[in-house]
Amino acid sequence: MAKLTPPRRRAPRRAGRPPGNVINELLEHKLIREVSYEKYRDKVRDVYDGPKGAMLAACSLISLHTPLGDRLFRERRFDLAGARRILDVGSGAGQLAKHVLRYADPEAELTCSDLSHEMLLRARQRLKSTRPRFVVADMTRLPFADASFDCVTCGYVLEHLPDARDGLVELSRVMMPGARMLLLTTEDRFSGAWTSRMWCCRTYNRRELRQICQDLGLRWKEELWFTRMHKVFRAGGICVHIVKE
């Protein structure tokens, strides 16, 4: 299995910024952001193509992300009613797509996209549905026209980018004005630090991510929590209902 081996040099910590983890610093490093994003992305793809990717569905079940995600849709805290063209970005093994198929209107079209062809094969096998179309794509370069979708779901993908802006700009571009998005990503807190090491991804500071979204016309309509307990302990990562202005 290919290993992510980021460069050894440390990025200078910016003043007034909450401390991130080592992986954040490496990913934010100029070398990856400006020179070798493609190489880094290929390593991410290799990881998901391999045995870790094959275990992803089971891991999401064990970590309770799959059942907790189901609650968000079932309780209509992220309501899919009325959505006609839905894009699931970074579908992985189809964990979120499964909920979308279950709770979206029957006439809604679903597109599942992912960097990894292998992951999309796993998703197709798991979803056992002819409804979704599967598209291999890097979320920073989506092969879709502007304003193609009225709903986007993006679960635990953004943390694989050195800079959230590169992905969010693309998501914003393919969203129609007024379109809704469910965004889940790791936060720079305890559980995020654990996930970050396990999957070699970064974490985000909630306040900074919100500001980036706002700059791109992606308004945070509501911050969501899986359960009351998650809210009290501010656990479970960043989970937010976004609306494109």
Q: Which residues bind ligand SAM (CB under 6 A)?
A: 41, 44, 48, 56, 60, 65, 90-92, 95-96, 114-116, 119, 138-140, 155-157, 160-161
C-beta of 14 vs 86, nearer to ligand SAM:
86
C-beta of 157 vs 179, nearer to ligand SAM:
157
- Identity (one letter) of the amino acid at 176? M
C-beta of 6 vs 92, nearer to ligand SAM:
92
Report d(CA 180, CA 195) in Å as an integer: 26
Give the bridge partners for 182, in sequence order.
153, 241
Residue 198: closest CA among 14, 93, 73, 47: 47
Please report how close the Cβ of residue 114 comes to ligand SAM at its closest, in angstroms.
5
Please report how close the Cβ of residue 173 comes to ligand SAM at its closest, in angstroms.
14
Collapse the DSSP code of 15 into the 3-class scheme (helix H, G, I; strand E, B; otherwise coil) and give the result. coil
Please report how close the Cβ of residue 88 comes to ligand SAM at its closest, in angstroms.
7
Please report how close the Cβ of residue 152 comes to ligand SAM at its closest, in angstroms.
12
C-beta of 20 vs 92, nearer to ligand SAM:
92
Please report how close the Cβ of residue 12 comes to ligand SAM at its closest, in angstroms.
26
Residue 25: closest CA among 10, 5, 39: 10
C-beta of 138 vs 188, nearer to ligand SAM:
138
Residue 81 token pair: 């009613």
